[in-house]
Structure 1
Amino acid sequence: MPAKRHAKRRSECPLNASVEMLGDRWSLLIIRDMMLRGFRTYKEFLECYEGIATNILADRLRKLVAYGIVTTELDPSDGRKVIYLLTEKGIDLAPVLTEMVLWAAAHEDTGNQALVRQMQKDKTQFLAGVRKRWAKQVVPPERKRSGSETA
């Protein structure tokens, strides 16, 4: 069943819906950092080498939570803080991100060739590993916090 809309879309086109949710310059990088680097805290996202501003990060995390791609949970080591976790909807982006990485590596001069080779060698195994790592961290619905907290 499709998720409830959060805002009026320009059209019913599925690609348009994807672009409206993920088409800014930061959302996919935040998801990448969660999926591939294991980032879970606001501070970790701020330290990313692309240099996201605090106001932009807070806005993108809020939107990703609103779209159901990311959820928040109290940090078990410090209950005053939240951690960010991918939802099933977020984990389902793994094949999309993988294809984008492979496409960019094929057409542009990019770094992280070890990751690219791992993806190229056995994409199915790579994606299974991503899913396995995140399956352990997906928050059951009864433990989810309200989606209004971001930082």
Structure 2
Amino acid sequence: MAAPCCEKELNGRRYRCFFELTLDVIGGKWKPIILYHLGICGVQRFSDLRRSMPGVTERMLSRQLKELATDGLVHREVYREVPPRVEYWLTDQGKTLMPILLALRDWGAEFERLSLERDGRGGTFNAPHYEQAALPAMADAACGRAARKPAGGVEEEREELARAEELSV
């Protein structure tokens, strides 16, 4: 049996282990989705993020973005223009979460496949907008870019993200 962890505190957060701290920083329904969208799309305005996540309220999105910025995972840039413009993007520390977020997405896709097989409904969700098959086109649409040719799959997507990260450094 593992020994109980002692309680620690960091920036007002109380936690007993690193896993608990991690979930406190990036856990919840919307934070991983926000981080994923910023990782795939790059710089986004508030309205872009809001459109790409139709289930989130403006208040919740604003609160989650502020928490992510406070934790140093998202950068918030306010431009002094009329009308005011605010943009968000992942910091270098935020970018380190992309392999984890992609692994979570891969796990979800496999869980879905196995669940559908177990229920006798086949192994994949057959819809033209299914995330894994349509991810590059979805990312382009969500990010306001012109459609590009379809990528080969998750490995190609990871390579493309790595190339994009190398170019941004």
- Measured against the shorter chain, the TM-score band is 0.7 to 0.9
Q: Is the 8 A contact 2:50 2:58 kept in 1?
A: yes
Partner of 1:32: 36
Pick from 99, 120, 142 the counterpart of residue 155 of structure 2.
Answer: 120
Name structure 2 gaps, 5 residues minimum: 1-8, 114-124, 137-151
Tell me the CA shift for residue 118 of structure 1. Answer: 2.3
Among 126, 129, 147, the alignment partner of 2:163 is 129
Tell me the matched-pair count: 130
Report which structure shows greater RCO (CA 8 Å, sep ≥6).
1
For each residue in 1:61-84, what CA deviation from the matched residue of structure 2 results, as whole angstroms up to 9, or x when unmatched? 110001000011134876722211
Of the three residues 17, 21, 28, the one matched with 1:17 is 21
TM-score by length of 2: 0.65
CA contact (8 A) 1:118 1:126 kept: no
Alpha-carbon separation, structure 1, partners of 2:60 and 2:111: 29
Identity over aligned pairs, percent: 22
Q: For the pair shown, which has the larger CA radius of gyration, 1 or 2?
A: 2
CA contact 2:42–2:90 (8 Å) conserved in 1: no
Q: What displacement does 1:36 show? A: 1.2
How does the TM-score come out when normalised to structure 1?
0.72
RMSD of the TM alignment (CA)? 2.7
Structure 1 unaligned spans of 5+: 137-151
